[in-house]
Structure 1
Amino acid sequence: MTMALNTKCPFHGNAHPDYLCPLKKQSEEITEILAIPDKVARVRAILALVIGEENVDQWLNSPHPDLGNRTPQSVINEGLVGAVVTILENALSGIPS
């Protein structure tokens, strides 16, 4: 469905064709990422979207207060990737940590 230029975008109210909407594109990217079945791959994809691919390793290897100041990578290595996924999904949803 293509919106007319004078139609308000349902994502933020600006008038433009929906295929040009940056928020719609980001929403679609987030939906695709959250559907990735492998949790470690999902963590990396979320991080790449939010902070950029070049910063992923730094974030994974920096202590995080919500993980008891352990690094996300160490928590993942302990088999607790779900804790890291929860932090990232909350961040994407706007839920403060």
Structure 2
Amino acid sequence: MALNTKCPFHGNAHPDYLCPLKKQSEEITEILAIPDKVARVRAILALVIGEENVDQWLNSPHPDLGNRTPQSVINEGLVGAVVTILENALSGIPS
């Protein structure tokens, strides 16, 4: 992208390689392609809330899971429910 071309992510003029939103968009695309759902959950959480907060989020009750913890839902074999919540959050769909 030329310096005088507006960035499609936020309208500022800068080269592609300097765009923080483009980099984050690429990271999200890579994360959503992770085939192992539990690994995908951890990767999404690390991106959104930071690696240091992942275990706390996984072990806190969540209203969209009937106030169960995401970790307990994962342990029950329902990791897809947790993935859906996170993918919706990344897509801007409110829970």
- What's the TM-score, normalizing by structure 1? 0.97
State the Cα distance separating 1:10 from its structure 2 match: 1.0
Which residue of 1 is the match for residue 56 of structure 2? 58
- Report the Cα distance in structure 2 between the residues aligned to 1:31 and 1:22, rounded to whole angstroms: 14
Structure 2's unaligned 5+ residue stretches are none
1:6 aligned to 2:39?
A: no
Q: Percent identity?
A: 100
Could you list the structure 1 runs, at least 4 aligned residues long, displaced by more than 6 angstroms after superposition.
Answer: none
Query: Whole-Å Cα distance in 2 between the matches of residues 93 and 36 of structure 1?
Result: 17
Between the aligned partners of 2:66 and 2:8, the Cα distance in structure 1 is 40
Distance 2:58 2:92 in 1: 20
- Structure 1: 5+ residue stretches without partners: none
Per-residue Cα deviation, 1:33-80 (whole angstroms, up to 9, x for no partner) = 000000000000000000000000000000000000000000000000
Rounded to whole Å, the distance in 1 between the matches of 2:8 and 2:17 is 12
RMSD of equivalent CA atoms = 0.4
